[in-house]
């Protein structure tokens, strides 16, 4: 196996990030780590999240990963600063809510930022928010939503969205998907809110990752790509959902 790229989330949500990465880096090997045993991260203490992330990072380093993608907004907000300091020679790329994209492309429009409580309260997000504030933004901590998506409970999801999102119908045009699980429910959100514009940081992250690898001469030229899925609970159901979302039948994409 060539030097892989490690990518992780508290569960399968980060697959929405991997999907964007594969579009522009199809020749790389990937190890995806889903920490479903410790899901959700959204309401956990900073120190707990840092420890969980560091344990995953150690696995990736042992597996000789050339870059590590934090495909979880909550983990990025809480742990990336610590990890970059502790592992200075390691390349880290971290997702964050695409609020700058709103500033650059749809500044005038009322905006709803959805994220976990942990992300919304974090210092990292608050710096971003104050820098690009369009003064027409609602911040919505979606407590428990990532967990419902992780469980794949459609009935509970519909109930949650109706209760929490109903009041925003007609009020907002932009939705920032500030948790990597949320792109999986765009259709369901549209059902409640009508036509809205979604902002997701994954494609921007993918471009940044490619630029970094190119700069360091680490891009793979091989045409065979291998994707390995690891779940901290060894869940076969999660593995199946993961490859279904990626639209790959087999683990080994050839
Ligand atoms: N997918 C994660 C994020 O982007 C969080 C989900 C969770 O609360 O565990 O924030």
In the chain, CATH 3.40.50.1860 sits at 5-95+202-253, 99-199
State the distance from the centre of ligand 1 to the C-alpha of 102, rounded, in angstroms: 21
pLDDT recorded at residue 199: 98
Return the sign of the alpha-carbon dihedral for residues 32, 117, 156, 112: negative
**Would residue 65 show up in a list of annotated catalytic residues for this protein?**
no
Distances from the Cα of 249 to the Cα of 8, 27, 135, 242, angstroms: 21, 17, 45, 10
State the distance from the centre of ligand 1 to the C-alpha of 106, rounded, in angstroms: 25
State the distance from the centre of ligand 1 to the C-alpha of 222, rounded, in angstroms: 32
**Would residue 53 show up in a list of annotated catalytic residues for this protein?**
no
Pairing of strands 252-253, 225-231: antiparallel
Domain 5-95+202-253 has CATH 2.30.110.10: no
Residue 13 CB less than 6 A away from ligand 1: yes
Residue showing tokens 């597996």: 63
pLDDT recorded at residue 253: 47
Can you give the pLDDT of all 254 residues of the chain as single tens digits? Answer: 689 999 999 999 999 999 999 999 999 999 999 999 999 999 899 999 999 999 999 999 999 999 999 999 999 999 999 999 999 999 999 999 999 999 999 999 999 999 999 999 999 999 999 999 999 999 999 999 999 999 999 999 999 999 999 999 999 999 999 999 999 999 999 999 999 999 999 999 999 999 999 999 999 988 888 999 999 999 999 999 999 999 875 555 43
Residue 10 CB less than 6 A away from ligand 1: yes
Residue 36 CB less than 6 A away from ligand 1: no
Which residue has the CA at smallest separation from atom 2 of ligand 1?
A: 72
Query: Alpha-carbon distance 243 to 236, whole Å?
Result: 11
Residue 179 CB less than 6 A away from ligand 1: yes
Class (C level, CATH) for 99-199: alpha beta
State the distance from the centre of ligand 1 to the C-alpha of 12, rounded, in angstroms: 9
What are 213's two structure tokens? 């690898």
């Amino acid at each position: 196996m060539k030097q892989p790229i490690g990518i992780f989330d508290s569960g399968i949500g980060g697959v929405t990030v991997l999907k964007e990465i594969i579009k522009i880096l199809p020749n790389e090997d990937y190890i995806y780590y889903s920490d479903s045993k410790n899901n959700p991260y959204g309401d956990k203490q900073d120190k707990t999240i840092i420890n969980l992330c560091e344990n995953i990072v150690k696995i990736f380093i042992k597996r000789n990963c050339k870059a590590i993608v934090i495909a979880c907004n909550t983990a990025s907000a809480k742990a990336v600063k610590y990890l970059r300091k502790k592992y200075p020679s390691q390349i880290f790329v971290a997702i964050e809510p695409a609020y700058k994209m709103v500033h650059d492309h749809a500044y005038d429009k009322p905006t709803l930022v959805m994220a976990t409580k942990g992300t919304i309260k974090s210092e990292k997000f608050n710096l971003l928010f104050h820098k690009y504030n369009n003064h027409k933004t609602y911040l919505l901590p979606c407590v428990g939503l990532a967990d419902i998506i992780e469980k794949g409970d459609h009935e509970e999801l519909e109930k949650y969205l109706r209760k929490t999102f109903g009041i925003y119908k007609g009020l907002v045009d932009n939705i920032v998907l500030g948790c990597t699980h949320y792109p999986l429910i765009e259709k369901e959100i549209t059902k409640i809110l009508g036509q809205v514009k979604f902002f997701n940081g994954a494609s921007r992250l993918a471009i940044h990752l490619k630029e970094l690898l190119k700069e360091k001469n680490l891009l793979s030229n091989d045409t065979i790509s291998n994707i390995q899925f690891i779940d901290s609970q060894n869940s076969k159901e999660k593995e199946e959902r993961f490859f279904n979302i990626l639209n790959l039948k087999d683990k080994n994409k050839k």
